[in-house]
A and B are shown apart, each in its own frame.
Chain A
Amino acid sequence: MTNLWMDIKHADVITVMGGNAAEAHPCGFKWVVEAKAHNNAKLIVVDPRFTRTASVADLYCPIRQGTDIAFLSGVAKYLLDNDKIQHRYVAAYSNAAFVVKEGYDFSEGLFSGYSEDKRDYDKTTWDYEMGPDGFAVVDETMQHPRCVLNLLKKHIAIYTPEMVERICGSPKETFLKVCELMASTASTDRTMASLYALGWTQHSKGSQNIRSMCIVQTLLGNIGQLGGGMQALRGHSNIQGLTDLGLMSNLIPGYLNIPIEKDENYADYISKRQFKPLRPGQMSYWQNYNKFFVSFQKVMWGEHATKENDWAFDYLPKLDVPTYDVLRGFELAKQGKMTGYVIQGFNPLMTFPNRAKMTEAFSRMKFIVVMDPLQTETARFWENHGEYNDVDSSKIQTEVFELPTTLFAEEEGSLANSSRWLQWHWKAQEPPGECRPDIEIMSAIHLRIKALYKRDGGAYADPIVNLNWNYADPESPTPVELARELNGYTVAPITDASGTTIPAGRQVDGFAQLKDDGSTACGCWIYSGCYTEKGNIMARRDNTDPGNKGIAPNWTFAWPANRRILYNRASCDPEGKPWSEKKKIIEWNGKQWVGFDVPDYGVTTPPEKNVGPFILNQEGVARLWTRGLMRDGPFPTHYEPFESPMANIPFPKMKGNPASRIFKGDLADLGTSAEFPYAATSYRLTEHFHQWTKHSRINAILQPEMFVEISEQLAKEKGIAKGDWVRVWSKRGSLKAKAVVTKRIKPLMCDGKAVHVVGLPQHWGFIGKTRNGWHPNTLTPVVGDANTETPEYKAWLVNIEATTPPNDRVA
């Protein structure tokens, strides 16, 4: 989230699209209801299903899953055609006026530089035109045919309301109502908050879905504003934290990158990543990339990371492919190229696409280790559970460990929520049986391996034996010790900006104090400030909220630098005055930036300097156009899902996202609309949380059994009645569930053809208190977003028919 949960109460319009906030985030959704009740806000819901969010919406618009880009491009077109944009904002705070290099082109759904066999682009033509001064060329008048705004207009010209209706199945009148309502926030005193979640990310063009709304929000001048912003509602309690901390194949904590093979050494690596401003005087955190990186190396390998050995640059693995994400991981496993998997609090068997493939992948591994507070299907993938898990144990040669771990009530530590708050929690009880904290388990594994290497030696042991592990009790580092590492500390005395010297061994106050000379160590620069000499900032519980802004600045710690609303400089006009008094966050008082939140800007940088407010970007402004950042194009483009009930209307040649990676076997596993006529989608219900709450009696009572949702029309066609058993199958598998026949799903009229939606919630399995059931991953295709490899769980094809109960349910 660029803003925070409470901030939503300031919104004048709230759009929930690509998500179902009321069901997935009920307690955060309260702030939407608050905005409606006390800020007279209007709630728009765009969704294939009339969800529980829609039940309290002012305006509901149906849409076929996987067509969000067409819809939002249509909105952007409406805004530009009807001059409903916040002009000064767009001019000053977006790259609308930037001029793009000669040679950029877009035709028949492909951008310039596409290579069919690589399924990838050569992005050189997607850059800005560079001036002699080494900065990007800008045409303030926005007359230049190649300036971003004009390219955008051209790019989205095809998305007329009629085209939107043909592609999305959203009735034209409703679509226009949505446009009008959104357009109403183009004024400086009205803002729209966009709430989205996996309804946008779980597509083969997930990132571009989000980009589309970013473009709309930028045109409306809603980013960095109170009650505005892009609110990514993260799915899990600490998924924000795990991403921040880089628990991914290609990341180092704080969104630094794992080097790739071509990065020969430290200098080379840094030179490719060091920030180069695209506009004169532009500032950014990334200017300090080297400081963050060196401090990270120091915290990892302490005295073993020295200037001489390039800060132990070689201790880090180098990537030969963009990512070793889960899709690749299990593809390799299926090919028998993986030896084992260590799985911490995760249930991949019932999560990753194509259950059959997952079972095969697990069966081909030598061992798997599952660490979890709950019994998971994954840990028992080899156990026969009738039709729910029909395997022959004797044929599965995988060695399996199930290690019991503590859960939240039995340990302390911090979680990072969607608002980027690091909240500390405390231990309430001893764990049952022999459960151990994950920290102790990981430590034990590390210490044992280290001991083995010390004793017997082996492949490149240095990074292991030299790993910085000086905890009071090496067997069990305390969360406090680890938090202190994340915050960072001085290794040698340093002098900070104010000139004061800080002795060695002190906690740093924030990332501003980090150095690239090895005198500081820091696990995650964006977390710096969470555990200073003042103590555990994450444990702060002062909920006072000056100005009733919904900011509560002294509640725990928010990264970066306790800033609650990102890009908040954009809440003021170029002169530093708030666009709207009512929505004031910060302002320039002549000497410095002051207000209710920590300024996302140089505190003393005067407005006259014209430093862009989006200081995470090299341009310093919001990007309507992205240079090399996105793998699948500088602008979002409508592509159909890989399994789609219809062809791509504007670009008939396109099948799926041309830049998405898809493995051969998985390509062969795609079905056609001839065999599988219905558009399926998967989602959460508010009564459950993934497959965790099926272990909880009360939640089992509230939603006991798997079902699929279909329209009355489809039910009639198929002779299915409420509560009947139905079989749903795709090219990859088949499952049984109860039928919920509802008015809340209606056939969508797309290009004159009725598209039936089949909805599958995802909360059941063969262990726990709920009735036995399947997970939609039995049916889903293995293809991910071109940029993040997030699987396409939200749009694929199935067929459906009435059937008999599973054996264990035969009366």
Chain B
Amino acid sequence: MTIHTDVRDGEPHPPLREVKAETPEIMYVPRYSGLQRVNHWVTAILFTLLALSGLAMFTPYLFSLTGLFGGGAATRAIHPWFGVALVVSFALLFLKFWRLNIPNKDDVAWSMKIGDVVTNREDRLPELGKYNAGQKGVFWGQTVLIGVMFVSGLMIWEQYFYEYTTIETQRWALLAHSLAAIGAIAIIVVHIYAGIWVRGTGRAMMRGNVTGGWAYRHHRKWLRQITGDKPAAGAKPVEKHGP
């Protein structure tokens, strides 16, 4: 049986034991397949384009953003098509990940300890599966908001769907669309920040894997599951050494 190992410096492989004595060996845990990563980034790019073109039409202060898309009329014309593309791309993500994002009791426990979450006290948090409540929040939040924006977007897509709804409905749609967009953007800001804040997360979407330690620290249940380990009876969280 083999163990995936790696040496920080580029030396040739010495025998296991010796190495183990010298430098700590790091295990890498695959998290996302290539396709999933592509899917995520396509969605991300579309989201950005939508945000920029949407904001341009949302407030005069940002109207100049229409310059990025070749002017106001072009922006108006392209925005809904970005939307359609995003919906398709996000739908794939959704199909892939919705099961893993079904909330469970750990999420409750985790959410109770949100204080420790923001203060980086992982040691005080319950063991978690592949996703924590925050990540699930992002997932379901976007799912709902994108849904809202899609439906309301069609209603205000003057060029093709003007006749199908009353002007009053379109007014509601317009408002809903804007509010949903604000929400979605805010969530994305948090999502991105989380990626910066929790080190080692980025490579999950860049390289597709995370370090064992990252998995151990943030998603231990998931790690146990994939390593086939069982928590020691009554095992308590390891004492944290040092400050």
**Are any A and B Cβ atoms less than 8 Å apart in their complex?**
no
Interface residues of A (CB under 8 A from B): none
